[in-house]
Structure 1
Amino acid sequence: MKKHLGRLRGALFVLALPCAIALAEGGPPVAPVRDQVDTWHGVQVHDPYRYMENLADPQVKSWVEAQGAYSRGLLDRIEGRAELEKRLAEIEASLGDRRFGITRMPGGAVFYLLRERKGKQVKLAMRASLGGAEKVLVDPDTYAQKTGVPHAINWFSPSWDGRYVAYGLSAGGSEDASMYILDVATGRQVGEPVPRVQWEAVSWTPDSRSVAYNQLRKLTAEDPATETYLDTTVYLLKVGDPAQQARPVFGPLVNRDLGLERLDNGYLVFTPGSPWVIAGTNDTTQKEGSVFMARVADLAAGGTVPWRRIASFADHLVEMELQGDTLYYRTKVDAPRFRIMKLDLRHPDLKTARVVALPPADGLIEGFVLGRDSLLAQVRRGASIGLTRYAGGNTAGQAIRLPFAGAASLAEDAAHAHADYVYALAGWTEPSRSFVLKGAHSVPLPQFDTSVKLAMPAIVVRDVLARSYDGTMVPLTILHRKGLALDGTNPTLLVGYGSYGTSETAGFRAGSIPWLEAGGVVAVANVRGGGVYGDAWRMAGTKLNKPNTWKDAIACGQYLVEKGYASPKTLAIMSGSAGGVFAGRAITEAPQLFAAAVIHVGMLDAIRAEDTANGITNISEFGSVKDAAGFKGLLEMSTYHQIKDGTPYPAVMFVHGLNDPRVDPWNSFKTAARMQAASSSGKPILLRIDAQAGHGIGSTPAQRRSVDADQQSFLLWQMGKRKLMQ
């Protein structure tokens, strides 16, 4: 799921270990039932734990605290759990420092995020050139030391001349970022922080003197949560001026004549050398929206900006780059696997746009970066992503040979000033490495990578297709140790997602190494609702088509059992966020197939989601309870409402941070309580919570290691590979 909701702050809910063990031995605390019945389109819907949505209720807080203590008491007693966390730390240290999110500026400077081997949090860093010395600009740990609360950098945006960098900083995993502006040369903050600038819709005017940003409205205590993302405004602020002097330039409350919806979140696109500024919108979930244009000179003149519409949602401009008088954009119109077009803004009629890049017959265009002389596109084939260069009017492009098989991610060339391209490449068994593409040759950038000293077993990677209930073949990638016996005894973890068109992608997952070392199997499914085969694959897993997502998951689980990788005693499923539907509905529809499940920050009560801050932004993905068809789809995908009394459910661990801005933590509270009351299997249903975490974004390495150790220990215990120590 996406974005923000109010959070509950406070100390981490813990009890002394002896008390925790006593609770664990006595079973989890029982939640009282206070059933509330709603009628939707003639259907009665029971909600026995509705009261848990009030996180300030002392009884709810007490129950959550006791649940946390119960879970902690059990998890800490699983054989080998402490050693597993230690191994995870060793693996992380062996990978060294990691650099990602690279942005290149016109003068050659590069800005990026840095996760140091021994660092507590990701830092913002830069180099004056690709080969220059590294300079750390922002270390969030300095804020954590002052407040005792973890802080994280959510986004960053350098000015074109490299003099300033704007960045978003939030606390406790909340993602509730404020915008700071840093003078790069002096390291000093310029002006005061600007609150409620939560996402990276931040850009600089071509002269680098002003920054444009999207700011949420300041709500009152009486405003419902559903108002959070409505009527946002894009402001223009001159560097050094107080935030109160920022000028509103775009948004539903600013441009009432443009026909904008209340959920239209705006952003501006500038590029040095272009006389134009582009204004785009989205609903924070769908990538596309309305697109407008104006002259930079008109924006700078003050007063009302004469925006001109050039595209609507139906035109599906999902990615845009501006160069001179030309707007480049990626679209799915007449191209379900996407194509790239260019439009002359001096004659801004989409009917006159020309094709720049077409996908190959066996792939889809997932993204692109515009350089000085050509365009480089990321082309997906299954879980792999390659690179294809488009230049000189060749719309078929020229595929680039990469150093090894995997998935490439392109660094941003902010002003399209460079003839070469920087990219990172990672594979299922290859840690990420950085390269600069010069012509057709990839030259390593060792200054961005640390030599990896990681001993790990030989891993087999297989791409297969699993037949789903309706005959659809679902891509599944399977990883395991070389020489593994396919006798059904291997601990096997099925992971997937299946929402927003997000695909599972080849990448090095350090947290999976201990699992593979122990003889485990990891299976990664690209189910419907994701985007592995383009827009049609995504739409086949949305709204009333959503059952395809979890039925594909079940089919992948059945494939793993049929082929001898696992048995129902050794098969687990895991996902999170919107993937709570993938995992939650798989275990409620086919509980006999799985030994255990882990669901992170999962969307589990789809009926109530619409009444939350972030729920309203997801109507375009999942539907609305306000219409009969939408309600039917949401009820079917709601794990909480599909739990049935007396069913032998697998063991489940629900993981949630109390500051989650995307999926309210009561999704896990209510579903854990309901499943504890309903399950007849006698297997544990745990609720693992962290009061200094949110959706996972911004969590420290220590927090991530703790979660990884807990989930793997829990799954191995439930598969009979570990035991509970006294």
Structure 2
Amino acid sequence: MTPEPYPTARREDTADHLHQTSVPDPYRWLEDPDSPETQGWLLAQAELFKRESKPQRFKERIGELLKSGSVGTPAWRGGRHFFSRRTPEQEHAVYYVVEPDGTERALIDPIAIDPSGLTTLDAVQPDKEGRLLAYQISVGGDEESVLYILDVATGARVEGPIDRCRYSPIAWLPGGEAFYYVRRLPSTEVPENERQFHRRVYLHRVGTSTEDDVMIFGDGLKMTNYYGVSVSRDGRWLQISASEGTAPRNDLWVADLTESSPERPALRVVQEGVDAQTGLVFGRDGRLYVHTDRDAPRARVCVTDPATPGVEGWRDLIPEDPEAVLSDFAILDDLERPVMLVGWTRHAISAITVHDLETGERVGEVPTPGLGTIGGIAERPEGGHEAWFGYTDNTTPPTIQRYDARTGETSLWAASPGAVQVPPVRTSQEIYRSKDGTEVRMLVIAPVDAEGPRPTILYGYGGFGLSMTPGYSASILAWVEAGGVYAIANLRGGGEEGEDWHRAGMLGAKQNVFDDFHAAAEHLIATGVTTPERLAISGGSNGGLLVGAALTQRPELYAAVACSAPLLDMVRYEQFGLGATWNVEYGSAEDPEQFRWLLAYSPYHQVREGVAYPATLFTVFQSDTRVHPLHAWKMCAALQHATSADRPILLRNETEVGHGARSISRTVDLSADTLTFLARHTGL
């Protein structure tokens, strides 16, 4: 395909001079989304994409596979339980309550709130008795959550809207009369370019004005801090954590609310200034359970006395495993021999083991439906002998499983409500070596009868300690059913092998992530799965940075690229969206050494004229308040100017959606456009 002439994009002589280095930025003008020139360029790009993207394939099949619906893990409060479910025809999941007699009622339906489908439900938190529900919604993908309180019995709103609550936890005190939450300072109190930051922990009493809320914590600390807050089931213990941006470490404090008032909790340090992540669970048996990667990169569970929560009193209950990462745990105590269920991921595959609660001795394993991904393990707050957990794999839509510790049996508690015909696939986990000899794993999903080189999509992320684990995906299944192969690489920078694995792909070691990805591609080619002419790569957000770096570092290795909501200008990324919270992962251009790391791989700055770049599709979202679409706009203009190939560089710029949740119909359209593009340029 020979693309039409690209829309004109003016090149400027703009450059920054940083640390004795000139950094050209010829498309700086595209950083202004409201300028007539940017608007005209975006309209021209939209017309080009519309002409180049027809006919669209895959849409009908992706829609069919998404008719599986979804179901969420229950939260038990008093005699009620709460859960989410999306039926085959629904655009968004609905949040339900089930009464003690089994009566089920819808509490929050985003479509009932907003028939346009632009409103999303961001978070929910029932109070400890199940009488009130805190929920947060946002509109148009901006993730600017607004908080409301709902009466569960009547469905009526009790309070709200309370704004500036993005990413806010809700920690209810017993009785539902008050809760702790996190809220940003008013925009009038901070500089305009810092309005996304400056969070504080407050105590709010239901029925009073937010003007009367008491600031509990956060004043005078770093503007990019995120805060966690929780209150133990009995209401005695308050826990507050603080993390600098997305740093893999936190400071931690506790307060005994029987010895100090909720408005003035006497916080004591559990961990401060330590390079580790730690969280606490106050057990019904009076012991304090500590989940930490301190001195244990794959994590461990310790026990101590809540009165002496510091590290000097910790005793290992579940020690670090040499291979598996300890992800979560639950306590079942309505038994002659109380137990702890411990969730693990071993090379990205989940399992749950059973341990004696007193000694930590392993006494069994929870049966699971297969080799897949297990969601969080839920227990009844008041204790019991049952636990619930989510399960999915590459061919299984989400289910909720129930484990009975009295019988040792696992049973299906709730399935995704839609019936779908899932195509047969063959999944294997392969090991390959990266450039420096490090062993890396990769999931390869292929047709059952796959032979010979096939069009293949290689997907990766490699950042922030996030793990790429098996899961039901309509896009993957539609691609494989059509005859392609889909591979997911467990790159350094992720969490698949613990915190050391994460840190081996962050800051000055970020190039390891790209090397792992190139090596995955070379492995797929060397083993006959695909060829460079049939190999596409795909990634979003931090994964968009990954594929942006891949296409500039090894353009000959890839035929096509799908780059979604990416970071691409790594010199200026801190100045936009939530970028200032990520310098703990990537580094800062203000620091001379870190600037050199960033410039060395920054995809926008590594585009070279006359290079035959792969066919590339940028998909971005106009309301994205995490990663500004300007990254893709500037990179698209740079590649369209520089490439010597006749393979197209296209931009799909979508309005009224953001970085995260979206309606199902929007998901189908985006997935179909992406797969159509990749199929066209890999020969599927």
Residue from 547, 552, 560 that aligns with 1:596 = 560
Structure-2 separation of matches of 1:646 and 1:501: 36
The Cα offsets for residues 539-563 of structure 1, whole Å up to 9 and x where unpaired, read as: 1100110001011101000111111
Contact 1:100–1:113 (8 Å) recurs in 2: yes
Contact 2:3–2:646 (8 Å) recurs in 1: no
Q: Specify the SS of the correspondent of 2:114.
A: helix
Contact 1:358–1:396 (8 Å) recurs in 2: no
The Cα offsets for residues 256-306 of structure 1, whole Å up to 9 and x where unpaired, read as: xxxx4333332321123252211111234135321112222455464x432
User: Per-residue deviation at 1:652?
Assistant: 0.6
Contact 2:132–2:152 (8 Å) recurs in 1: yes
User: Per-residue deviation at 1:149?
Assistant: 6.2
Structure-2 separation of matches of 1:66 and 1:548: 37
Do structure 1's residue 139 and structure 2's residue 109 form an aligned pair? yes
Contact 1:251–1:265 (8 Å) recurs in 2: no
Contact 2:203–2:213 (8 Å) recurs in 1: yes
Aligned partner of 1:85 in structure 2 is: 59
Contact 1:468–1:551 (8 Å) recurs in 2: yes
Aligned partner of 1:637 in structure 2 is: 601
Contact 2:434–2:516 (8 Å) recurs in 1: yes
Aligned partner of 1:195 in structure 2 is: 163
Could you tell me which amino acid in structure 2 is paired with residue 134 of structure 1? E
Structure-2 separation of matches of 1:262 and 1:630: 21
Residue from 194, 199, 205 that aligns with 2:173 = 205
The 5 A counterparts of 1:365-380 are: 365-372=326-333, 373-380=338-345
User: Per-residue deviation at 1:412?
Assistant: 3.4
Contact 1:121–1:701 (8 Å) recurs in 2: yes
Contact 1:154–1:175 (8 Å) recurs in 2: yes
Structure-1 separation of matches of 2:11 and 2:194: 27
TM-score (norm 2): 0.95
Aligned partner of 1:11 in structure 2 is: none
Q: Tell me: CA distance 1:281–1:370, structure 2 relative to 1, closer, same or farther (3 Å).
A: farther
Residue from 436, 454, 460 that aligns with 2:402 = 436
Aligned partner of 1:332 in structure 2 is: 293
User: Per-residue deviation at 1:371?
Assistant: 4.1
Could you tell me which amino acid in structure 2 is paired with residue 708 of structure 1? S
Aligned partner of 1:99 in structure 2 is: 71
The Cα offsets for residues 112-138 of structure 1, whole Å up to 9 and x where unpaired, read as: 222221112222222235x82332101
Residue from 278, 285, 293 that aligns with 1:318 = 278
User: Per-residue deviation at 1:192?
Assistant: 2.4
Aligned partner of 1:67 in structure 2 is: 45
The 5 A counterparts of 1:405-444 are: 405-413=371-379, 415=381, 417-439=383-405, 441-444=408-411
The Cα offsets for residues 88-128 of structure 1, whole Å up to 9 and x where unpaired, read as: 112222x1x421153222x2422222222111222222223
Could you tell me which amino acid in structure 2 is paired with residue 383 of structure 1? A
Do structure 1's residue 539 and structure 2's residue 503 form an aligned pair? yes
Structure-2 separation of matches of 1:623 and 1:523: 29
Structure-1 separation of matches of 2:630 and 2:203: 37
Contact 1:29–1:63 (8 Å) recurs in 2: yes
User: Per-residue deviation at 1:315?
Assistant: 5.7
Moved more, 274-283 or 582-591: 274-283
Could you tell me which amino acid in structure 1 is paired with residue 265 of structure 2? V
Residue from 214, 225, 228 that aligns with 1:247 = 214
Structure-2 separation of matches of 1:442 and 1:138: 33
The 5 A counterparts of 1:49-60 are: 49-60=27-38
The 5 A counterparts of 1:380-419 are: 380-397=345-362, 398-413=364-379, 415=381, 417-419=383-385
The Cα offsets for residues 191-223 of structure 1, whole Å up to 9 and x where unpaired, read as: 221001111411101232112110012224982
Aligned partner of 1:689 in structure 2 is: 653
The Cα offsets for residues 647-673 of structure 1, whole Å up to 9 and x where unpaired, read as: 100001011111112111101111111
Q: Specify the SS of the correspondent of 1:717.
A: helix
Identity across matched positions, percent: 27
Q: Tell me: CA distance 1:337–1:443, structure 2 relative to 1, closer, same or farther (3 Å).
A: closer
Q: Tell me: CA distance 1:588–1:377, structure 2 relative to 1, closer, same or farther (3 Å).
A: same
Q: Tell me: CA distance 1:44–1:301, structure 2 relative to 1, closer, same or farther (3 Å).
A: closer
User: Per-residue deviation at 1:391?
Assistant: 2.3
Aligned partner of 2:223 in structure 1 is: 262
Q: Specify the SS of the correspondent of 2:302.
A: strand
Structure-1 separation of matches of 2:456 and 2:165: 41
Q: Tell me: CA distance 1:55–1:445, structure 2 relative to 1, closer, same or farther (3 Å).
A: same
Q: Specify the SS of the correspondent of 1:316.
A: coil
Root-mean-square deviation (CA, aligned residues, Å) is 2.1
Could you tell me which amino acid in structure 2 is paired with residue 115 of structure 1? R
Could you tell me which amino acid in structure 2 is paired with residue 314 of structure 1? V
Moved more, 313-322 or 553-562: 313-322
Contact 1:274–1:322 (8 Å) recurs in 2: no
Q: Tell me: CA distance 1:693–1:452, structure 2 relative to 1, closer, same or farther (3 Å).
A: closer
Structure-2 separation of matches of 1:221 and 1:270: 29
User: Per-residue deviation at 1:496?
Assistant: 0.9
Moved more, 520-529 or 34-43: 34-43
User: Per-residue deviation at 1:623?
Assistant: 0.6
Moved more, 211-220 or 667-676: 211-220
Structure-2 separation of matches of 1:221 and 1:59: 33
Structure-1 separation of matches of 2:277 and 2:190: 37
Contact 2:367–2:410 (8 Å) recurs in 1: no
Aligned partner of 1:580 in structure 2 is: 544
Contact 1:379–1:386 (8 Å) recurs in 2: yes
Q: Specify the SS of the correspondent of 1:190.
A: strand
**Unpaired runs of at least 5, structure 2:** none
The 5 A counterparts of 1:156-175 are: 156-175=124-143
Could you tell me which amino acid in structure 2 is paired with residue 376 of structure 1? L
Contact 2:371–2:393 (8 Å) recurs in 1: yes
Contact 2:374–2:389 (8 Å) recurs in 1: yes
Do structure 1's residue 455 and structure 2's residue 421 form an aligned pair? yes
Q: Which has the higher contact order (CA 8 A, sep 6+)?
A: 1
User: Per-residue deviation at 1:611?
Assistant: 1.5
